[in-house]
Chain A
Amino acid sequence: MLAMNYRGPYRIRAVHKPEPEIEHPGDAIVRVTRSCICGSDLHLYHGLVPDTRIGSTFGHEFTGVVEEVGSAVQHLKPGDHVLVPFNIFCGSCYFCQKELYGNCHSTNPEATAVGGIFGYSHTAGGYDGGQAEYVRVPMADVGPTVIPADMDLDDAVLLTDALPTGYQAAEMGGIREGDTVVIFGAGPIGIFAAKSAWLLGAGRVIVVDHVEYRLEFVRSYAQCEVIDFKQVGDMAIHIKKMTDGLGADVCIDCVGCEAAGNFAQTLLGVKLKLQGGAATVLHWCINSVRKGGTVSIVGVYGPTFNAVPIGNAVNKGLTLRMNQASVKRHLPRLIEHIQAGRLEPRRVISHRIDLRDVADAYHIFSSKLDNCIKTVLVPPGMVRETTTAAASL
């Protein structure tokens, strides 16, 4: 089968490799109909995530048709068209019993701090991802969700990570009616966090980035105020000026460890790798939020150390909330939002690229070429496939 293949930082190619097989009675083999490239894939692509082995296939956001199921699978059958949450989770461990699916303890032997994730290095369990024609999906009765017949596949694939992560980011902010919410990062997660902040009743939503076309998009798609941080001297002062001198009620970090905007952080963390990436946005969040406010973090940070102004967080009495999104928990409500027309996630998709051209797709996204917001990869056989789940069976 055709699959994306990592060869080292900034180097990938599409290769033919053996199709995955059932390795556990709870597995399914899924034929991929759509997969996305995610902002967090770029941390892998740039070689920043430890134990990203040469030959890996990335891709934790995908939809597909079930081809084959293991002997223990009872609720999913061949032919079902499913969206697969990026978390691989068991549904029964201590954490899954609390609906903390992003923190499952049964699916990642290599690390305890993070659960299993499709195509996200051996630090996240050593699974191959969905930027391929076929993928092994463990715990097939637990993770995958059958796509409603009338749902557009482009909407469905955004439910595997980007939309639920943006929603959870806003929800972890504990937004109250009328709150001023500042979101750092105008990628798909930041865009969906902004949309979600409105659903949760925010009074003002402000999005910070430095790429003009992304700010333009978020302004029109999510009706937000925007800040180009390159035009701003000091972020904390700027936000305070916008908020009667107090600071924002909620700050949300949708950027993570590869932030631009602070020379020292970028040099130490991203270029020299002396700390786990740049903590620039964490500094901005902690220093721009009002006292007693909440900082919500969904940007990816590496497992090693970051210089974080934790003293300021203590002195300001902040609530810090963060996690990988527990996608499955959000799906029923988010599907309702899509069906009611309150959310139209597929509008963030700017590029549709053949899986064979995956190297170009990554480069376009990574270098923010051609006004790229979100890229969908389509396996060669799927190119002409119609767009809703029912039609593609």
Chain B
Amino acid sequence: MNMPDPSNTRSPSPSHAHIIGWGADLDPAMRPAYPKERTPPRLPHPVEPPEQQHSHAEVLHSTERPGITPIFGSTLPPSGLSGRLRRLAFRHSENDLRHWLMLLLADRVQMGEGLIEDISRGHVPNIYAEMGGRAELRHNPMGAARKVAIGVAALALVAMALKGRGRTRRRLRG
């Protein structure tokens, strides 16, 4: 271990004199995490193990523990197709790559579900604002212009391609 000698509390060398606080924690006794695992902890008062939190929300738990923890977050229980994927993911341990890949897939699926939910509630999301478009325009106008130009060019290409396809099809039919 790289343990400093506790007697090593010196005033700063001239080369460090301009650095406020230099060496203030050179003495390990002044360091809050020394040694790294401190027993007993220095909490301001004794703490009892927490009682079990109750919730009606569905909480998924790692296969590496017997059940849910005494305390947990109850926000956003799994739902829809993404929820089904998440439940499947939690059949695999944290040690299994499939667990994490299925969760990432569920995240992408839920992004689509979020769009559908927005629109079904009559809310068309302002994706420009959600991606910070206003800030981009204000602080990076060149970048914003470039993005708009790329977007317009891409749309034009798609339009041309569609038009071209329509023409070929007509020609084939005719």
Write out the residue numbers on chain A whose beta carbons fall within 8 Å of the beta carbon of B133. Answer: 363
Question: Which residue from A8, A90, A177, A319 sits with its C-beta under 8 Å from B4?
Answer: A177
Report the stretch among B47-55, B148-156, B157-165 that lies at the interface: B47-55
A294 at the interface (CB under 8 A from B): yes
B169 within 8 A of A: no
Among A106-114, A211-219, A306-314, which stretch is in contact with chain B?
Answer: A106-114
Contacts of A326 in B (CB 8 A): 33
Q: Which A residues are in CB contact (< 8 Å) with B127?
A: 11
Kindly state whether residue B170 has any CB partner on chain A within 8 Å: no
Identify the interface centre among A53, A175, A366: most chain B CB within 10 Å of its CB: A53
CB <8 Å contact, B20 and A171: no
Chain B residues whose CB sits within 8 angstroms of the CB of A330 once the complex forms: 32-33
| Cross-chain contact B71 with A88 (CB below 8 angstroms) | yes
Select B24's contact among A174, A337, A361, beta carbons within 8 Å.
A337
A92-B49, A176-B2 as given contacts; A364 in contact with B61, CB under 8 Å: no
Query: Any chain B CB within 8 A of the CB of A96?
Result: yes
- Residue in contact with A100 in the complex, picked from B37, B51, B126, B135, CB distance below 8 Å: B37
Please state if B43 and A11 are interface contacts (CB–CB under 8 Å): no
When chains A and B are docked, how far (Å) is the Cα of A56 from the Cα of B107? 12
Question: Residues of A contacting B64 with CB < 8 Å?
Answer: 112
Residues 73-107 of A contacting B (Cβ, < 8 Å): 75, 88, 90-93, 96-100, 105-107
Given A13-B129, A126-B73, A367-B136 in contact, is the A174-B49 Cβ separation under 8 Å?
A: no
Q: Mark B120-155, 1 if CB is under 8 A from A, else 0.
A: 000001110111111110011001000000000000
A174-B3, A359-B131, A360-B132 known; A107 and B69 CB under 8 Å?
A: yes
Cβ A141 vs Cβ B45 within 8 A: yes
Q: Which residues of A contact B70 (CB under 8 A)?
A: 90, 106-107
Given the known interface contacts A91-B43, A107-B69, A174-B2, the answer about A55 and B55 at a Cβ–Cβ threshold of 8 Å is no
Q: Does A244 contact B (CB under 8 A)?
A: no
A233 CB, min distance to chain B CBs, angstroms = 29
Return the contact of B39 from the options A56, A98, A107, A370 (Cβ within 8 A): A98
Cβ 8 A contact of A98, one of B3, B37, B60, B100: B37
A55–B97 touching, CB < 8 Å: no
Contacts of B173 in A (CB 8 A): none
Q: How far is the CA of A26 from the CA of B129 in the complex (A)?
A: 38
Asked if B2 and A7 make an inter-chain contact with CB atoms under 8 angstroms apart, the answer reads: no
**Given the known A-B contacts A174-B1, A337-B24, are A11 and B130 also in contact in the complex, defined by CB atoms under 8 Å?**
yes
Whether A122 contacts B60 by the Cβ 8 Å rule is yes
Residues in B whose Cβ lies below 8 Å from that of A177 = 4, 8, 10, 23, 26
Specify which chain A residues have a CB less than 8 angstroms from the CB of B114 in the assembled complex: 7-8, 54-55
**Does A112 contact B62, Cβ atoms closer than 8 Å?**
yes
**Closest B-chain residue to A323, C-beta based?**
B36
Compute how far the CA of A54 lies from the CA of B139 in the bound complex, rounded to whole angstroms: 28
Least Cβ–Cβ distance between A243 and chain B, in angstroms: 16
Q: A182-190, A193-201, A234-242, A254-262: which one contacts chain B?
A: A193-201
Chain B residues with Cβ below 8 Å from A23 are: 53, 55, 74
Chain B count of residues within 8 A CB distance of the other chain: 84
* CB nearest to A344 among chain B residues: B20
Assuming the contacts A24-B53, A199-B24, asked whether A52 and B42 have C-beta atoms less than 8 A apart, the reply is: no
Cα–Cα distance between A125 and B69 once the two chains are bound (Å): 9
Main secondary structure on A side of the interface with B: loop
Q: B residues 54-81 with Cβ under 8 Å of A?
A: 55, 59-62, 64-65, 67-76
**Across the interface, which residues of A come within 8 angstroms of B26, CB to CB?**
177, 200-201
Residues of chain A within 8 A (CB-CB) of B107 are: 47, 50-54
Tell me the smallest distance from the CB of B172 to a CB of chain A, in Å.
38
**Candidates B19, B69, B82, B94; contact of A106 at CB < 8 Å:** B69
Is A328 interfacial (CB-CB < 8 Å)?
Answer: yes
Contact B73 A113 (CB under 8 A): no
Nearest CB in chain B: distance from A325 CB, A: 9
A329 touches B50 (CB 8 A): no
Q: Can you name the residue of chain A whose Cβ is closest to the Cβ of B125? A: A7
Contacts A177-B4, A363-B131 given; indicate if A199 touches B50 (C-beta within 8 A).
no
Given A176-B2, A359-B131, A363-B132, the answer on whether A199 and B45 have CB atoms closer than 8 Å is no
Question: How far apart are B31's CB and chain A's nearest CB, in angstroms?
Answer: 6
Q: How far is the CB of B149 from chain A (nearest CB, A)?
A: 18
Is A301 part of the binding interface, using a Cβ–Cβ cutoff of 8 Å?
Answer: no
The 10 closest A-B pairs by CB, nearest first: A363-B132, A174-B2, A342-B21, A126-B73, A91-B47, A127-B73, A8-B111, A360-B135, A50-B103, A369-B139
Name 26 interchain pairs, CB-CB below 8 A, sorted by A: A11-B131, A53-B82, A55-B75, A55-B114, A98-B37, A110-B59, A112-B94, A126-B59, A126-B75, A127-B75, A174-B3, A195-B21, A198-B16, A198-B21, A199-B23, A304-B100, A329-B41, A329-B42, A332-B42, A342-B24, A359-B132, A363-B131, A363-B132, A367-B136, A369-B135, A369-B136
Additional A-B contacts beyond A90-B50, A99-B42, A367-B143 (12; CB < 8 A): A24-B50, A50-B100, A51-B86, A51-B103, A91-B43, A97-B40, A99-B37, A111-B62, A200-B26, A304-B97, A333-B31, A363-B136
